[in-house]
Amino acid sequence: MTLAYPFEDVRTQIKSASLAEVMDRLGVRMNFAKDEEIYAQEEDADLIYRVVSGVVRTMRLLSDGRRQVGDFYQAGDLFGLEVGALHRYSAEALCDCAIQVVKRSSLRAQADEGELDRAIWEATCRDLERAQDHILLLGRKTACEKVASFLMDLAQQGPNEAIDLPMGRQDIADYLGLTIETVSRMLTQLQGSQVVEFASCRQFRVRRWDVLERLAA
Protein backbone atom coordinates (compact mmCIF):
# COMPACT_ATOMS: atom_id res chain seq x y z
CA MET A 1 0.00 0.00 0.00
CA THR A 2 1.30 3.44 -0.93
CA LEU A 3 0.43 6.36 1.22
CA ALA A 4 0.62 10.05 0.79
CA TYR A 5 3.38 11.63 2.78
CA PRO A 6 1.82 11.85 6.18
CA PHE A 7 2.49 15.46 6.77
CA GLU A 8 -0.57 17.27 5.62
CA ASP A 9 -3.00 18.86 7.97
CA VAL A 10 -5.89 16.46 7.95
CA ARG A 11 -8.32 19.10 8.99
CA THR A 12 -8.19 20.63 5.53
CA GLN A 13 -11.70 20.97 4.31
CA ILE A 14 -10.82 19.67 0.86
CA LYS A 15 -12.86 16.50 1.04
CA SER A 16 -11.29 14.48 -1.79
CA ALA A 17 -13.88 15.46 -4.35
CA SER A 18 -12.87 12.91 -6.94
CA LEU A 19 -12.93 10.02 -4.49
CA ALA A 20 -16.49 10.98 -3.66
CA GLU A 21 -17.24 10.91 -7.36
CA VAL A 22 -15.74 7.47 -7.84
CA MET A 23 -17.58 6.21 -4.78
CA ASP A 24 -20.82 7.54 -6.22
CA ARG A 25 -20.18 5.74 -9.48
CA LEU A 26 -19.10 2.37 -8.06
CA GLY A 27 -20.99 2.25 -4.82
CA VAL A 28 -24.51 1.85 -3.64
CA ARG A 29 -26.52 4.46 -1.86
CA MET A 30 -28.20 3.01 1.17
CA ASN A 31 -30.72 4.55 3.48
CA PHE A 32 -30.80 3.76 7.16
CA ALA A 33 -33.58 4.63 9.55
CA LYS A 34 -32.91 6.21 12.92
CA ASP A 35 -31.09 3.76 15.22
CA GLU A 36 -30.64 1.20 12.46
CA GLU A 37 -27.36 -0.67 12.54
CA ILE A 38 -24.96 -0.02 9.67
CA TYR A 39 -22.43 -2.60 10.72
CA ALA A 40 -21.81 -4.63 13.85
CA GLN A 41 -18.85 -4.99 16.13
CA GLU A 42 -16.64 -7.91 15.08
CA GLU A 43 -18.16 -7.89 11.59
CA ASP A 44 -15.90 -8.15 8.53
CA ALA A 45 -14.66 -4.75 7.48
CA ASP A 46 -14.38 -4.81 3.71
CA LEU A 47 -16.61 -1.87 2.93
CA ILE A 48 -15.98 1.84 2.96
CA TYR A 49 -18.77 4.18 3.99
CA ARG A 50 -19.35 7.86 3.31
CA VAL A 51 -22.05 9.88 5.00
CA VAL A 52 -24.17 11.60 2.37
CA SER A 53 -26.71 13.04 4.76
CA GLY A 54 -27.60 12.52 8.37
CA VAL A 55 -25.27 11.64 11.23
CA VAL A 56 -23.69 8.33 12.24
CA ARG A 57 -22.38 7.22 15.63
CA THR A 58 -19.87 4.46 16.27
CA MET A 59 -20.07 2.65 19.56
CA ARG A 60 -18.92 -0.23 21.62
CA LEU A 61 -20.70 -2.20 24.30
CA LEU A 62 -19.39 -3.83 27.42
CA SER A 63 -20.89 -7.23 28.20
CA ASP A 64 -23.28 -5.76 30.76
CA GLY A 65 -24.65 -3.11 28.42
CA ARG A 66 -22.54 -0.11 29.33
CA ARG A 67 -22.05 1.82 26.13
CA GLN A 68 -19.25 4.03 24.84
CA VAL A 69 -19.76 6.20 21.78
CA GLY A 70 -16.55 6.45 19.77
CA ASP A 71 -17.38 9.33 17.52
CA PHE A 72 -20.00 11.05 15.41
CA TYR A 73 -19.68 11.30 11.63
CA GLN A 74 -21.38 14.03 9.63
CA ALA A 75 -22.07 14.53 5.93
CA GLY A 76 -18.90 14.07 3.88
CA ASP A 77 -17.02 11.99 6.48
CA LEU A 78 -15.60 8.58 5.65
CA PHE A 79 -16.03 5.92 8.29
CA GLY A 80 -15.83 2.18 8.82
CA LEU A 81 -12.16 2.11 7.78
CA GLU A 82 -11.03 -0.35 10.32
CA VAL A 83 -7.43 -1.01 10.79
CA GLY A 84 -7.68 -4.77 10.94
CA ALA A 85 -10.07 -7.11 9.21
CA LEU A 86 -12.84 -6.69 11.74
CA HIS A 87 -14.86 -3.73 12.95
CA ARG A 88 -13.87 -2.80 16.46
CA TYR A 89 -16.80 -0.49 16.94
CA SER A 90 -20.32 -0.88 15.56
CA ALA A 91 -21.98 1.93 13.61
CA GLU A 92 -25.57 3.12 13.77
CA ALA A 93 -27.62 5.79 12.11
CA LEU A 94 -28.23 8.53 14.64
CA CYS A 95 -31.11 9.82 12.57
CA ASP A 96 -32.35 8.86 9.12
CA CYS A 97 -29.23 8.66 7.01
CA ALA A 98 -28.11 8.27 3.44
CA ILE A 99 -24.82 6.41 3.19
CA GLN A 100 -22.72 5.68 0.13
CA VAL A 101 -21.13 2.23 0.42
CA VAL A 102 -18.34 0.75 -1.69
CA LYS A 103 -16.36 -2.46 -1.55
CA ARG A 104 -12.75 -1.68 -0.84
CA SER A 105 -11.55 -4.09 -3.49
CA SER A 106 -13.70 -2.75 -6.30
CA LEU A 107 -12.76 0.77 -5.37
CA ARG A 108 -9.12 -0.13 -5.42
CA ALA A 109 -9.40 -1.66 -8.85
CA GLN A 110 -11.08 1.38 -10.34
CA ALA A 111 -9.97 4.46 -8.54
CA ASP A 112 -6.69 6.27 -8.68
CA GLU A 113 -4.60 4.40 -6.13
CA GLY A 114 -2.90 7.45 -4.72
CA GLU A 115 -6.14 9.27 -4.36
CA LEU A 116 -7.77 6.42 -2.51
CA ASP A 117 -4.84 5.86 -0.21
CA ARG A 118 -4.67 9.50 0.58
CA ALA A 119 -8.35 9.68 1.45
CA ILE A 120 -8.10 6.61 3.66
CA TRP A 121 -4.99 7.95 5.31
CA GLU A 122 -6.63 11.28 6.05
CA ALA A 123 -9.76 9.70 7.44
CA THR A 124 -7.67 7.44 9.66
CA CYS A 125 -5.58 10.36 10.85
CA ARG A 126 -8.65 12.38 11.65
CA ASP A 127 -9.94 9.46 13.69
CA LEU A 128 -6.65 9.18 15.56
CA GLU A 129 -6.45 12.88 16.37
CA ARG A 130 -9.98 12.94 17.60
CA ALA A 131 -9.38 9.78 19.60
CA GLN A 132 -6.40 11.44 21.29
CA ASP A 133 -8.47 14.47 22.27
CA HIS A 134 -11.19 12.13 23.43
CA ILE A 135 -8.76 10.28 25.69
CA LEU A 136 -7.68 13.46 27.45
CA LEU A 137 -11.31 14.46 27.85
CA LEU A 138 -12.41 11.12 29.29
CA GLY A 139 -9.40 10.64 31.50
CA ARG A 140 -8.90 14.02 33.08
CA LYS A 141 -11.75 16.44 32.54
CA THR A 142 -14.62 17.15 34.91
CA ALA A 143 -18.25 16.79 33.86
CA CYS A 144 -18.54 20.51 33.23
CA GLU A 145 -15.34 20.61 31.18
CA LYS A 146 -16.47 17.62 29.17
CA VAL A 147 -19.76 19.21 28.23
CA ALA A 148 -18.13 22.55 27.47
CA SER A 149 -15.55 20.83 25.25
CA PHE A 150 -18.28 18.95 23.48
CA LEU A 151 -20.28 22.07 22.72
CA MET A 152 -17.16 23.87 21.53
CA ASP A 153 -16.30 21.00 19.24
CA LEU A 154 -19.77 21.11 17.70
CA ALA A 155 -19.67 24.85 17.35
CA GLN A 156 -16.29 24.95 15.58
CA GLN A 157 -17.87 27.06 12.87
CA GLY A 158 -17.79 29.99 15.26
CA PRO A 159 -19.95 31.70 17.81
CA ASN A 160 -23.24 33.44 17.26
CA GLU A 161 -24.69 31.00 14.81
CA ALA A 162 -27.41 28.63 15.90
CA ILE A 163 -25.96 25.13 16.18
CA ASP A 164 -28.01 21.97 15.86
CA LEU A 165 -27.44 19.13 18.27
CA PRO A 166 -28.22 16.14 16.11
CA MET A 167 -27.84 13.64 18.95
CA GLY A 168 -29.93 13.08 22.05
CA ARG A 169 -28.75 13.38 25.63
CA GLN A 170 -28.05 9.66 25.96
CA ASP A 171 -25.65 9.75 23.02
CA ILE A 172 -23.88 12.78 24.44
CA ALA A 173 -23.62 11.04 27.81
CA ASP A 174 -22.19 7.87 26.27
CA TYR A 175 -19.71 9.94 24.29
CA LEU A 176 -18.54 11.87 27.35
CA GLY A 177 -18.54 8.98 29.81
CA LEU A 178 -21.32 10.53 31.91
CA THR A 179 -25.02 9.90 32.62
CA ILE A 180 -27.89 11.72 30.91
CA GLU A 181 -28.79 13.46 34.15
CA THR A 182 -25.32 14.92 34.56
CA VAL A 183 -25.23 16.09 30.96
CA SER A 184 -28.60 17.75 31.41
CA ARG A 185 -27.53 19.45 34.62
CA MET A 186 -24.33 20.78 33.07
CA LEU A 187 -26.22 22.15 30.09
CA THR A 188 -28.69 23.88 32.40
CA GLN A 189 -25.77 25.27 34.38
CA LEU A 190 -23.99 26.57 31.28
CA GLN A 191 -27.19 28.17 30.14
CA GLY A 192 -27.78 29.65 33.58
CA SER A 193 -24.38 31.33 33.54
CA GLN A 194 -25.12 32.90 30.14
CA VAL A 195 -22.39 30.95 28.36
CA VAL A 196 -24.73 29.26 25.91
CA GLU A 197 -28.39 29.66 25.12
CA PHE A 198 -30.75 26.87 24.15
CA ALA A 199 -33.58 27.70 21.79
CA SER A 200 -34.85 24.15 22.18
CA CYS A 201 -33.14 21.10 23.64
CA ARG A 202 -31.69 20.36 20.20
CA GLN A 203 -30.44 23.78 19.25
CA PHE A 204 -28.10 26.24 20.91
CA ARG A 205 -26.02 29.33 20.40
CA VAL A 206 -22.72 30.26 22.07
CA ARG A 207 -23.06 33.59 23.88
CA ARG A 208 -19.66 33.82 25.55
CA TRP A 209 -17.07 32.07 23.44
CA ASP A 210 -14.19 33.11 25.71
CA VAL A 211 -15.85 31.71 28.81
CA LEU A 212 -16.76 28.49 27.05
CA GLU A 213 -13.16 28.11 25.94
CA ARG A 214 -11.92 28.63 29.47
CA LEU A 215 -14.42 26.17 30.89
CA ALA A 216 -13.41 23.51 28.38
CA ALA A 217 -9.95 23.57 29.99
Partner DNA sequence: GAGCTGTCTTGATCTGGATCAAACCCAAGG
Partner DNA sequence: CCTTGGGTTTGATCCAGATCAAGACAGCTC
Binding footprint of a second copy on the chain (CB under 8 A): 1-3, 5-11, 46, 60, 62-64, 66-68, 70, 81, 83-85, 88-89, 104, 108, 113-114, 117-118, 120-121, 124-129, 131-132, 134-136, 138-141, 174, 176-177, 217
181 binds, among DNA, a second copy, none (CB under 5 to 8 A by kind): DNA
Mask for 133-152, x = binds DNA (CB under 7 A)? ---------xxx--------
The enclosing H or E element of 212 equals: helix 209-215
63 binds, among DNA, a second copy, none (CB under 5 to 8 A by kind): a second copy
Within 10 angstroms of residue 123's Cβ, the number of other Cβ atoms is 22
Q: How far is the CB of 11 from a second copy (least distance, A)?
A: 8
Q: How far is the CB of 44 from DNA (least distance, A)?
A: 30
**Quick one: which of 81, 87, 35, 92 has its CA closest to 58?**
92
Positions 33 through 52 that interact with DNA (CB under 7 A): none
- Applying CB under 7 A, the site for DNA has a residue count of 21
**C-alpha pair distances (Å), 119 with each of 21, 36, 53, 205:** 13, 26, 19, 33
B/e letters for 50-77, b = 16+ CB within 10 Å, e = fewer, are bbbebbbbbbeeeeeeeebbbbbbeeeb
Calpha distance 206→161 (Å, rounded): 8
**Whether 124 contacts 95, CB under 8 Å:** no
Q: How far is the CB of 152 from DNA (least distance, A)?
A: 17
Q: How far is the CB of 134 from a second copy (least distance, A)?
A: 5
Calpha distance 205→197 (Å, rounded): 5
Looking at beta carbons only, is 124 or 191 nearer to DNA? 191
Q: How far is the CB of 167 from DNA (least distance, A)?
A: 8
Calpha distance 137→175 (Å, rounded): 10
Calpha distance 54→34 (Å, rounded): 9
Is residue 216 at the binding interface for DNA, with CB under 7 A as the rule?
Answer: no
Mask for 161-190, x = binds DNA (CB under 7 A)? -------xxx------xxxxxxxxx-xx--
Q: How far is the CB of 165 from DNA (least distance, A)?
A: 8
